[in-house]
Structure 1
Amino acid sequence: MSSRSLRFTAALLLSSLLLTSAPVSTGWAQTAPAAAPTMTLPAGVKFVTEVEGIREYRLPNGLHVLLFPDTSAATFTLNVTYKVGSRSENYGETGMAHLLEHMLFKGTPTSGNILESLGKRGADFNGTTSEDRTNYFETMTNSGDNLSWALGMEADRMVNSKIAQTDLNTEMTVVRNEFESGENSAFGLLYKQVRSVAYDWHNYGNTAIGNRSDVENVPIKRLQDFYKKYYQPDNAVVTLAGNFDPEAALAQIAEDFGRVRKPWRTLPAEYTVENPQDGERSVTVRRVGDERILLTAYHMPSIRHPDMPALLVLDQILADEPAGRLYKALVQTKQATAIGSLTNTASDPGLLMYAAVLGKDDDTAPAQATLLKSLEAAGDTAFTDEDVARVRTRVVGSYEQLLSKPEQVGVTLSEYIAAGDWRLLFKLRDELEKVTAADVTRVAKTYLKPTNRTLGVFVPTPEPDRVTVTAAPSAEELLKGYVGRAAQTAGENIPPEPAAIEARTVRSEVAGAKVALLPKKTRGERIEFVMNLDFGNAQTVKDGGDAADFIAPLLTRGSKDLTRQQLNDRLEAIKTQLSVSGGASGASVRVSTDRTHLAEALELVKKVLREPVFPQADFDELKKGAIDGAESGRGDPQSVASQALARAFAQPGAKRGDLGYVSTLDESIEDTKAVTLDQVKDYYNKVWGAAQVQVAAVGDFDPQTITAALPGILDGFKSGVKYERISLPLVTPKSADTVINVPDKANAVYVSRLNFPLRDDAADYPALIVAMRIFGSGTDSRLFNRLRQQDGLSYGAGGSVSASSEDQKGSYSAYAIFNPNVTEKVVTAMREELAKALRDGFTPAEVTSAKSAILQEARVARSSDATLVGSLVRQAYLNRTYAFNAELEAKISAVTSEMAKAALNKYVTPENLVVVRAGTFGK
């Protein structure tokens, strides 16, 4: 419910990861070459270079390999980057690179269906396409044959993917459904049109999703030719990061990928250069929607250009929250609900873009005038050293956090590979540290000009003021002799098994809080900390629930002796992220920091929790954002369907104001409008406090640091009311099938649900989990295979079950997104697949595969410290340990086909389903 300061992220920069400043920027510095590491190399493989722990090798067939080992990780991430994207598409081929990305999951004659295989192995995976590259990645535990299988699979699909007409027939409709889903987004529609108008000739004017008719009609032969041309070893980079043995892994890569011969063809040169813009351009999109958006774009140079570091600093200073110039000029003055930036940095000149979001009925003229003045007169008011220093502090910390997570580095490198060389990531970081306030002022004056802008209407001018973007050096020239910095030291590896984690966890009670601590060495000495507070009761929630929703976001908007900006600056200085969430009956404080700054971070937790000031201006801003955000859901099929489904499961007979009542959208907006700041303060003063507390931490810390800080945070922080956990009766409404028409939406949604009595410690709960994993949870599930793989009806479809840990409350749900014209086919497929599962059950092979996937997914989840700390704090609340997880996983391992079928039939009864469909279904 916060006012959304939108940081729209684009293809390249890790959002705000890579911005810094210091002395004058005078171009790209040169550094000494890296020495080759001592390691036995496979025959024909050559060492290329090393930067900060990442080593590059080249195979005889032209394939480049990057290795970034981290023995403290429990997982590895394999990423294959192909230097081809939407910029390489010709007339009639838009969307081809993205469509081909989908097709490569269909499999090869050897590897079979890759989506199913990845799902069975519990992998976290995806494929993505941008203007300059396509990449595929999978994260798995380094156990069994996962690594060797993944390497073999990627080498196999590089040149042996089927790219068959039968697969295209279904996948084309899936991609079209993804295209239609994007058509539901007001910002997505505007963004696509602005890019199209901003470019005359370059393919950056096209989005990667492509043109609908091209996607629908692409001949299979053109798709096959595109694949054969670009999916070759000399046009690819394999990046392996995380837990693996470098020498053994390189040998395996050389064996698997080395079998692929170097192609005879030569890739065509891409030589189109966009002409300088001759004046202001405009575009207006008129579609059904619930908010107004302004989006302005300015041409800027390549990521390799010497001006880029200063431009990235400029972008951060303009669009930061709350110190950014746009935020102050538009959001704080209530001319807009939110602002944001989208920096389309790429290999060729891209776009610097800024947006402002307004209410549906707001007048755009004042906001448009303020937006353009704030941007195009930015260079008239000199930027300060303080502005630049704030960016440097944030980004240095962000970069260090990136390098502490090799799995993210591996995927992130794809963007810099596409721009010319992976080392550009480090080189750009170094150059950002040299940016001065004068550099920022200069680039603002150079690029933020009306004649370089796309927004509004075209205005002729007798004196064209053209911006010519000068050429950038090649990556080879830019990086000659570049070394980089010393790599971070790795942490330790705790096996992600319940027993191993429990053996390292220290549980105690401190200052009335249940505490679970897991100290261990981590990369970058990082720590994840969570504190959960329970307070209030049914009566307090009924009386003040709407006001209570504003407390958590206001706590970080300023404390005694610390303004919001001062708090943000301090957190950035100590490399810490602090967030507070919660409402009328509880709150959660989450901190991510490092060993050196843990004590100070906990002091800031105390100030935020116990010394709020509740600024009126921030409350007004949050309230307006909440109202505008609710209004924006009117025309969204998913929001409409979700609310209708929730209302179907409201407590029978509940009236407005009762705990079991679910409000309409109009009622919710009316209730929000009625909230006052005095009500917010009153609820905090009377109800908030440490009635019941759980604390957990995972990472590189001394337990004494936390146990010593807790009394200071909690002592005297008492709730003024008796705490009572709220538990409403289970609701089991009659079956219903509701169709809601939402005008002018290309994509529709199907959601269904039923409730039943069930706790997560029930004897047949493990069998139900296995049954639902086969039926609807995962890319190898029956629902996914039927609606996406077989029939091509949906980009996303699935189902799940949930069970309470405290009450006899369980539920089944299923969903799909689809084109409104195939709604009956979707409903039929959903009904038929559920009936088949209830009637015929599951095969032993399906059960074995599902159990393996569930257990591997659990191991992957426990490999993440952020996930682990959440589990520990939840266990503290439930008085559980990892012995419960171990027992649950043992029961899952023992599930048979008969048990899975019986559990599904016991709990899931089709005749009780409540179904809602929302979309543009016609008359």
Structure 2
Amino acid sequence: MAYFAKIRLTQAWLIGLLFLLILPCNVYAQEDDLKHFTLPNGLDVFVKEDHARKVATIQIWVKVGSADEELSELGISHLIEHMAFKGTEKRGVGQIASELEALGGETNAYTSWDETVFHVTVPSTGVSQGLDILTDAVFRPSIDPDELNKEKQVVIEEILEGEERPERKASKLLFHTAYEVSPYKYPIIGYKDVVAGFTRDNIIQFRKKWYVPENMFMVIVGDIDPNQVRTDLEKYTADLKQTGFFRPPRPSEPVQKEIRGAVLRDRNSRETRLYVAFHIPSLSSPDVNAIDLMADILGARDSSRLVQTLKKDKGLVNSISAYALTPKKPGLFAISATLDGKNLETVTKGIMEEVAKLQKQPPSAEELDRAKTHIESQHIYARETVQGMARSIGSFEADLGDASYEEKYLNLNRLITPEQISATAKKYLTPPNVTVTVLIPEDVEQDFQIEKLTGVVKHFGASQTAQTAAAGKEAAAIVRTFPNGLKVVLQPDNSNPAVSFRIAMMGGKRFETKETEGIMNFISQMLDKGTSKMSEQEIAQKVEDMGGRLNGFSGYDSFGVYATFFSRNTDEGLEMLARIYTDPAFPEDKLERERNLIINRIKTEPDRPVQYTVNVLNQTVFKDHPYGFVKEGTLATVAGFTADDLKQTYERFAVPANTVITGVGALDPEKTMARIEQLFGKLEARQFVPPVVPAEEPIAKVRENVVQIPRAKAHIAIGFRGVSVSDEDRYPLEVLNNILAGQGGRLFLQLRDKESLAYVVTSFVRPAVEPGLFGLYIATEPSKADTALKGLFRELEQVKSQPVNGAELERSITNLIGNHLISLQSSWNRAENSALNTLYGLGYDYDKEYIAKVSKVTSDDVMRVARKYLELDHCAIVKIMPEKDA
């Protein structure tokens, strides 16, 4: 469950809101593939068949969000979202999640300013049951008073968790400052005191007003039969009636007549966060296409102007981006940056200078085409999952009343001229229509005043006045091992005009030492920063011209580079990957910039409490083994690495005998294999001798590690030595983890739902090349820390002492398999799985074996591995606690 404000096109974390690509080619689905019908009760339903994936997603959109709430109701939409899965007239608490997981499905919901959305994704065999479950949950929740009180505590925990996250505080400050009248100024999740006061009657009355068929619609996408869907829905919603719904008007935000600014000091933050934001119109405006492209040009990509100038060239920011927030009512164009506080004035001036340049001089045709290509690529990648397709359809229908608007949007996008970009920048990105907010660490820049930045911005105000056809059966993969030892696996899939490649090598943390901790991550960060013949910017622009993404990666046991391109650019993409693999330059100027970024991430690690807790747990479980290292390294090691260190380490590992290349997508396998052989097959054959890895002694007794940092909550983790990826115990251990984790898992149902100890509680299993980790995590109020820890141990004791019943075991196995199938929708993920499974000796098609072996896990297997691995006297306990004076 989540809440967010919808951001248009430029933010990767909302890629699900992006649109499907419509091109004049028989590979793409046509608009008439989107079917629409209205049920007798007035509920609109949109159905899209996609038989390329054997899954389907079902979404119910309610056109009410936090912006429709009265002041006394702030946060009620989000609370109602939570209560939908807390039982119905015929399903008890926990039964909804349990039934869905038994189908192999997953469920969640989110609340935004304008909508509340409930969704499930299931294998195609479970569509009818999924429709039954979701309609029951949304239309007939029981709103049990006891469960409501528990869920209010969970939401309050969520509110408190947000209050300790610097990025959420910074966002909250921006919207509360930028808006004076619009309800967008209030946080979607609401306020602690307001949420605490909600009663069952409040919930029922709000639902009675807004949760009516005329104010809702459904989207179903995937491997479905539309006629059967209609028949099922008519049965499952037969009791719903039209009500004569009337939508009350919202207050309108007045024109901003003076520059606004605000600053907040935060004791939890370790880096400064800056926002420069401008009011822009809603999604319905004819300027939206130019605004989206303007955001892309300024700050959505590695080669965008602000990223190139302020981050890469001058090193003034740790991160910077621009995005357009265009919801149902007028939104914001925001430029956000994280930086050292001493650079605030310089960065603000730099932002406004780039805006001024765009106003004075239209972008080149080439730069604008690159932005259009980038947006086009997002459309293609969004449709690799049924969830992405459904969310795109739903967003247009909810905000514009036009579920098929995507084609119009893309056609308009192609017609935008450079002159329109400059005209739009002049129209909207000009003071006094600007708000500047800063979140700054409590102990730095003590003399800072926001007027320093509003004065910088004011100066610029003065100077500026005046689709696809249904896929056939899965095509066969082809596998080759070249004479030099390089392994290649290619898996054609013509359901989408994209192709993903991954070059993977054994490496990662496992082959580091205390002196080289972090070097693999540093190498991966540098792989796309230039070759002897191509600069970083040339690489970035080339990738964007191909509609692509390209990055290095590093993990526990491997490292390398991955990329996705339009399939029409396969040859060019492979050529670039070959250059990067064979000739990375590790340029000195980029080395220092990346070093500073990595050091900043190490210093700010406590700002990411979940990852920080897991890192401390790793260090506690693996005292001698490199699995205990932090991926980014230490301040000392990272500060000492030279370009030669990186290059020599890379060359030691980047040999064909230690390399696997995989490709998945719309490719010609024979032609692509021949091209890979040209580019990689003639590389020198060299022996690869892996480093010796120190052995890790078993945990002889409980290891406890207590860390005190400025935090509002307690973060607790328990860790056990786990299994390797090739261990047969992996399968029952993953089933055991599924029994404990997830919304239908024991930890969630008992410690969150019944005892209201936390908003976040879960378990996780991480098999590795060598035995990895099995862990549990909970975030709770400090006063509840001991109770929460005892609760985790109590659940572990129970799973060791009492056999899992047949229904729970079946649900867990089906859910695990269903989630695995859902994760394999995109070519990106399949290329990754294929590469790592091949590299680790499991086989490129290991996914089938994994599913088969998980299916055979028994209750006895689960109890056996629970007793074998979850020894409570041989574990690590980590407590991240607030400082005593906090």
Counterpart of 1:851 in structure 2: which amino acid? Answer: I
SS of 1:451's equivalent? coil
CA drift at 1:790: 0.9
Output aligned runs, 1:169-184, within 5 Å: 169-184=149-164
SS of 2:759's equivalent? coil
**Per-residue displacement from partner, 1:227-260 (whole Å, max 9, x unpaired)?**
1221121111111111011222223223323441
Q: 1:53 to 1:263 in 2, by over 3 A?
A: same
CA drift at 1:136: 1.3
Question: Structure 1 CA distance, aligned partners of 2:233 and 2:373?
Answer: 39
Counterpart of 1:249 in structure 2: which amino acid? Answer: V
| 8 A contact 1:83–1:417 mirrored in 2 | no
Q: 1:445 to 1:386 in 2, by over 3 A?
A: same
- Name 1:692's counterpart in structure 2: 658
What TM-score do the two structures reach when normalised by structure 2?
Answer: 0.88
Q: 1:341 to 1:535 in 2, by over 3 A?
A: closer
| 8 A contact 1:595–1:700 mirrored in 2 | yes
Q: Work out which of the residue numbers 107, 130, 149 in structure 1 matches 2:129.
A: 149
Asked whether 1:136 is paired with 2:108, we answer no
Which region of structure 1 is more displaced relative to structure 2, 447-456 or 892-901? 892-901
Question: Unaligned 5+ residue runs, structure 2?
Answer: 15-29, 437-449
CA drift at 1:538: 8.9
- Name 2:579's counterpart in structure 1: 607
Asked whether 1:290 is paired with 2:304, we answer no
**Per-residue displacement from partner, 1:177-197 (whole Å, max 9, x unpaired)?**
222222222121011011011
Question: Structure 2 CA distance, aligned partners of 1:538 and 1:789?
Answer: 38
- Name 2:205's counterpart in structure 1: 225
Q: Work out which of the residue numbers 400, 404, 410 in structure 1 matches 2:380.
A: 400
Question: Structure 1 CA distance, aligned partners of 2:116 and 2:397?
Answer: 11
- Name 1:120's counterpart in structure 2: 102
| 8 A contact 2:471–2:495 mirrored in 1 | yes
Question: Structure 2 CA distance, aligned partners of 1:297 and 1:52?
Answer: 39
CA drift at 1:535: 6.9
CA drift at 1:686: 5.4
**Per-residue displacement from partner, 1:195-242 (whole Å, max 9, x unpaired)?**
011111110111211112112222221121111221121111111111
| 8 A contact 2:726–2:842 mirrored in 1 | no
Q: Work out which of the residue numbers 494, 517, 531 in structure 2 matches 1:522.
A: 494
CA drift at 1:800: 3.1
Asked whether 1:426 is paired with 2:426, we answer no
**Per-residue displacement from partner, 1:540-572 (whole Å, max 9, x unpaired)?**
867756555333332222234433333233323
Asked whether 1:273 is paired with 2:241, we answer no
SS of 1:866's equivalent? helix
Question: Structure 1 CA distance, aligned partners of 2:628 and 2:381?
Answer: 43
| 8 A contact 2:8–2:292 mirrored in 1 | no
Counterpart of 1:769 in structure 2: which amino acid? Answer: E
Counterpart of 2:702 in structure 1: which amino acid? Answer: S
| 8 A contact 2:501–2:831 mirrored in 1 | yes
CA drift at 1:920: 1.8
CA drift at 1:631: 1.2
| 8 A contact 2:655–2:688 mirrored in 1 | no
CA drift at 1:301: 0.7
Question: Structure 1 CA distance, aligned partners of 2:456 and 2:637?
Answer: 49
| 8 A contact 2:11–2:323 mirrored in 1 | no
| 8 A contact 2:274–2:336 mirrored in 1 | yes
CA drift at 1:139: 1.5
Output aligned runs, 1:464-483, within 5 Å: none
- Name 1:45's counterpart in structure 2: none
Question: Structure 2 CA distance, aligned partners of 1:579 and 1:205?
Answer: 36
Q: Work out which of the residue numbers 6, 20, 31 in structure 2 matches 1:11.
A: 6
**Per-residue displacement from partner, 1:845-889 (whole Å, max 9, x unpaired)?**
322322332333333344544333333323323444488666665
SS of 1:285's equivalent? strand
Asked whether 1:358 is paired with 2:330, we answer no
CA drift at 1:761: 5.1
- Name 1:799's counterpart in structure 2: 763
- Name 2:521's counterpart in structure 1: 549
- Name 1:903's counterpart in structure 2: 865
**Per-residue displacement from partner, 1:25-61 (whole Å, max 9, x unpaired)?**
xxxxxxxxxxxxxxxxxxxxxxxxx935212222232
- Name 1:28's counterpart in structure 2: none
What TM-score do the two structures reach when normalised by structure 1?
Answer: 0.84
| 8 A contact 1:538–1:726 mirrored in 2 | no
- Name 1:829's counterpart in structure 2: 791
**Per-residue displacement from partner, 1:621-668 (whole Å, max 9, x unpaired)?**
21111111111124554354334323323445x9xxxx5874799x81
Question: Structure 1 CA distance, aligned partners of 2:698 and 2:507?
Answer: 28
Asked whether 1:859 is paired with 2:857, we answer no
Asked whether 1:167 is paired with 2:132, we answer no
- Name 1:91's counterpart in structure 2: 71
- Name 1:683's counterpart in structure 2: 649
Asked whether 1:713 is paired with 2:679, we answer yes
CA drift at 1:305: 0.8
CA drift at 1:76: 0.7
Question: Structure 2 CA distance, aligned partners of 1:852 and 1:713?
Answer: 43
Question: Structure 2 CA distance, aligned partners of 1:462 and 1:521?
Answer: 54
| 8 A contact 1:516–1:876 mirrored in 2 | no
Output aligned runs, 1:751-830, within 5 Å: 751-755=717-721, 758-759=723-724, 762=727, 764-774=729-739, 776-804=740-768, 807=770, 809-830=771-792
- Name 1:917's counterpart in structure 2: 879
| 8 A contact 1:537–1:726 mirrored in 2 | no
Asked whether 1:236 is paired with 2:203, we answer no
Q: 1:540 to 1:182 in 2, by over 3 A?
A: closer
| 8 A contact 2:384–2:826 mirrored in 1 | no
Output aligned runs, 1:206-605, within 5 Å: 206-264=186-244, 266-288=245-267, 289-331=269-311, 332-359=313-340, 362-375=342-355, 378-403=358-383, 405-421=385-401, 422-455=403-436, 456-457=450-451, 487-494=467-474, 504-513=476-485, 515=487, 517=489, 519-534=491-506, 546-582=518-554, 586-605=558-577
CA drift at 1:754: 1.7
Question: Structure 1 CA distance, aligned partners of 2:598 and 2:772?
Answer: 30
Question: Structure 2 CA distance, aligned partners of 1:387 and 1:722?
Answer: 43
Counterpart of 1:622 in structure 2: which amino acid? Answer: E
| 8 A contact 1:382–1:438 mirrored in 2 | yes
**Per-residue displacement from partner, 1:814-836 (whole Å, max 9, x unpaired)?**
00122223212211211222222
| 8 A contact 1:335–1:358 mirrored in 2 | yes
Question: Structure 2 CA distance, aligned partners of 1:537 and 1:186?
Answer: 29
Counterpart of 1:831 in structure 2: which amino acid? Answer: F
SS of 1:815's equivalent? strand
**Per-residue displacement from partner, 1:501-547 (whole Å, max 9, x unpaired)?**
9xx34333234446464544422343333232347999986775655
SS of 1:828's equivalent? helix
**Per-residue displacement from partner, 1:114-164 (whole Å, max 9, x unpaired)?**
233223322233211111111111211111xx1111112232233311122
SS of 1:796's equivalent? strand
CA drift at 1:78: 0.9
Once the two structures are aligned, what percentage of the paired residues are identical?
A: 21
Q: Over aligned residues, Cα RMSD in angstroms? A: 3.3
Which region of structure 1 is more displaced relative to structure 2, 595-604 or 546-555? 546-555
Q: 1:75 to 1:366 in 2, by over 3 A?
A: same
- Name 1:469's counterpart in structure 2: none
CA drift at 1:423: 3.0
Q: 1:647 to 1:676 in 2, by over 3 A?
A: same
Q: 1:400 to 1:864 in 2, by over 3 A?
A: closer
SS of 2:242's equivalent? coil
CA drift at 1:678: 3.7
Which region of structure 1 is more displaced relative to structure 2, 344-353 or 377-386? 377-386
Counterpart of 1:180 in structure 2: which amino acid? Answer: L
SS of 2:262's equivalent? coil
CA drift at 1:316: 1.2
CA drift at 1:398: 2.8
Q: 1:547 to 1:292 in 2, by over 3 A?
A: same
Question: Unaligned 5+ residue runs, structure 1?
Answer: 1-7, 20-49, 467-486, 495-500
- Count of residues in correspondence between the two structures: 843
Question: Structure 1 CA distance, aligned partners of 2:846 and 2:423?
Answer: 61
| 8 A contact 2:154–2:759 mirrored in 1 | yes
Question: Structure 1 CA distance, aligned partners of 2:159 and 2:458?
Answer: 41
